[in-house]
Amino acid sequence: MNTEPVLIRSDGIKKDDDKSDNCKIDKGNIDKGNLDEEDVDKEKIDKEKIDKEKIDEKKVDKGRVVVSWTGGKDGCLACYGAILEGFEVTHLLNFREIQRRGSHDINPALLYAQAEALGIPLIHKDFISYEQEFKKAVRELRDSGEIIDGAVFGHIETHKNLVDRICRELGLELIMPLWQRSSGQIINDLTGLGFEVILLSVKADLLGKEWLGRKIDENFICDLKKHNPSIDPCGENGEFHTFVTNCPLFKNKINVTESEMVLRGGYWFLEISKLEAGKK
């Protein structure tokens, strides 16, 4: 089985050719995937909502896959790209580190709310070794009768050697839709495709608590650069972590109704205590 990373790009643009790191988002350069032009006029696509039926029409049964899931924008966008390319997502896999809690320390209840909105089962486990726990989860799924052909990761610049080794040892196809994409283009795609994303945690020495709950919108890159130009727009250096409250794959929005700001381990966290399912 092929274990080379699948780079899901409809335009073939390499990272060096991607010019979307400008402050303003280019609304006219949105990667919508390979939507069938006979069914969809790309010029008339509502950029705030993609019809899920079109995603279903695109499926070509490339295989059954699991998605590495943290609740944030990158994993969700990678999941969207994989489904658009014809992969069937069987499970979301989330692993929470026991010994060191960083920006990805998220209440599992939020992840289960996303899984329910997606209609995809979530497996959540604590870990000491991510690699060993990931392998164990996939093997347990296979032992239960599940067919797992590949794994989807939302990594952009890091961890490729790790996930390549995991997939090679499990005989999985490695699918990395965002690999070496520019942060600007990823933010462009998120806003253009109708993803609704908020900042759930921020590194306290870089961003204040006023950034918690901030939506990633058309002004996000500009505002971030004005505040601190060294911060990566996708938070690739651990500057912040996000939470997706709506996307083209969700059957309902996730509305945050109760929360508080908490400082812990050098990060400000938006501790969400109550959620509600909202209409799309």
Mean pLDDT over 66-72 rounds to 97
- Distance between CA 26 and CA 24 in Å, rounded? 6
Give the pLDDT confidence score for residue 97 in this predicted structure: 79
pLDDT in tens, 11-56: 333 344 444 445 544 433 333 343 343 443 444 344 444 455 555 5
Beta bridge partners of 272: 259
Mean pLDDT over 187-206 rounds to 96
Global pTM value: 0.80
Q: Domain 53-278 carries which CATH code?
A: 3.40.50.620
- Distance between CA 256 and CA 273 in Å, rounded? 8
Give the pLDDT confidence score for residue 197 in this predicted structure: 98
Assign residue 213 a region (left: φ > 0; alpha: ψ between -120 and 50; beta: otherwise): left
Judged by DSSP in three states, 176 sits in: coil
Phi/psi for 117 (5° steps) reads: -65, -30
pLDDT in tens, 125-169: 987 888 999 999 999 999 999 999 999 999 998 899 999 999 999
Cβ-Cβ contacts under 8 Å for 240 (sequence gap 6 or more) = 103, 199, 200, 201, 202, 203, 207, 211
